[in-house]
């Protein structure tokens, strides 16, 4: 059986071993063959698949987007229209996040400007504003237009509850 064990592969690709195992568990990666000693052994195609997944994650793609791209990679269509659609959706999601971060930055700058002198904590305007829920704008938790938006929202809601 020719291939690389998980530790060697993790070092080569500069990812934690647990990340590789996670991609297997969540179904992004095919399960590797195992040695008689039950060690995972990754062949060329699996290594390419893992590299592809890692590159997608470096671009902050959601698992559903990666699954879509992997499916297209495995069964290529005649043209790259579907690939472009996935990337366009991801770009829209990133643009929305950037807009939300800019809005958040403006809020924080405004909040910081409300307290321009060092004073006692009792008279700190920032603490007053943070103590009143109606004075701080709520950030959007929706990811409109993003194919994985519903899943991302569900994950956020699970973390809160």
CA dist 111 and 147 (Å) reads 34
What are 25-37's pLDDT values in tens digits? Answer: 999 998 898 888 9
* Domains identified in the chain, total number: 2
* Residues facing residue 5 across a β-bridge: 41
Q: Are residues 53 and 99 in the same domain?
A: no
Structural domain harbouring 109: 81-160
Q: Are residues 156 and 92 in the same domain?
A: yes
Q: Tell me: the pLDDT tens digits for 18-77?
A: 999 999 999 999 889 888 899 999 999 999 999 999 999 999 999 999 999 999 999 988
CA pair distance 28, 67, nearest whole angstrom: 6
What would the mean pLDDT of 77-97 be, rounded to a whole number? 95
Q: Do 98 and 134 sit in the same domain of this protein?
A: yes
Same domain for 29 and 100? no
For the domain that residue 32 is a member of, what is the CATH number?
Answer: 1.10.1660.10
Question: Residues 144, 104: one domain?
Answer: yes
| Number of H-type helices and E-type strands within the chain | 7, 3
Does pTM top 0.85 for this prediction? no
For residue 99, CA distances in Å to 92, 113, 143, 151 come to: 11, 21, 12, 21
């Amino acid at each position: 059986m020719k291939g690389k064990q998980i530790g060697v592969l993790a070092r080569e690709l500069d990812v934690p071993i647990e990340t590789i195992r996670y991609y297997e568990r969540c179904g992004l990666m095919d399960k590797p063959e195992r040695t008689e000693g039950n060690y995972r052994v990754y062949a060329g195609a699996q290594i390419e698949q893992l590299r592809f997944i890692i590159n997608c994650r470096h671009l902050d793609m959601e698992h559903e987007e990666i699954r879509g791209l992997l499916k297209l990679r495995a069964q290529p269509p005649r043209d790259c229209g579907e690939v472009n659609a996935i990337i366009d959706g991801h770009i829209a999601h990133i643009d929305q996040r950037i807009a939300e971060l800019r809005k958040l930055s403006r809020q924080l700058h405004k909040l910081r400007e409300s307290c321009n002198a060092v004073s006692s904590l009792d008279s700190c305007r920032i603490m007053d504003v943070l103590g009143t829920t109606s004075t701080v704008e709520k950030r959007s938790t929706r990811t409109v237009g993003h194919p994985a938006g519903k899943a991302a929202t569900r994950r956020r809601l699970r973390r809160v509850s």
